[in-house]
């Protein structure tokens, strides 16, 4: 594969498809993987009290990948902050899976050691 072909193949993955998540009280919603620029923006978030809400707003979307909340809207962020933690936990778990940041994904990538097991 040539350099240009490899580059084109890599850049073709820039628009990942949303992943469905079932939240019993909402039904199916979708989470889209973060892009590098969005991760960079999250690391410079000015208000730590809104970090979780902004992360949810950047990823919670419809089946077409269109965001349901505006991550730059204080009104939307405060609305997300008023949601039940159990609902957001399901979204957060899905976010970890689609972004490869769960403990299992980190183990698969070799970034953490698997837990020790008792040997006999």
CB atoms within 10 A of CB 43: 7
Q: Is 30 exposed, middle or buried (0-12, 13-18, 19+ CB in 10 A)?
A: buried
What global pTM score does this model have? 0.69
Residue by residue, pLDDT tens for the chain (120 residues) are 899 999 999 988 877 889 999 999 999 999 998 877 777 776 666 677 888 888 899 889 999 999 999 998 999 999 999 999 988 888 888 888 887 775 654 455 454 455 555 554
């Amino acid at each position: 594969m040539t350099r240009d072909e490899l580059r084109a193949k890599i850049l073709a993955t820039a628009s990942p498809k949303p992943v469905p998540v079932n939240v019993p009280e909402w039904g199916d919603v979708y989470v889209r993987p973060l892009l590098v620029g969005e991760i960079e923006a999250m690391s410079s978030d000015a208000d730590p009290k809104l970090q979780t809400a902004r992360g949810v707003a950047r990823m919670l979307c419809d089946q077409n990948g269109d965001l349901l909340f505006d991550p730059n809207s204080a009104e939307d962020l405060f609305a997300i902050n008023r949601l039940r933690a159990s609902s957001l936990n399901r979204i957060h778990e899905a976010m970890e899976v689609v972004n490869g940041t769960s403990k299992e994904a980190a183990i698969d990538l070799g970034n953490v050691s698997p837990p020790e097991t008792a040997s006999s």
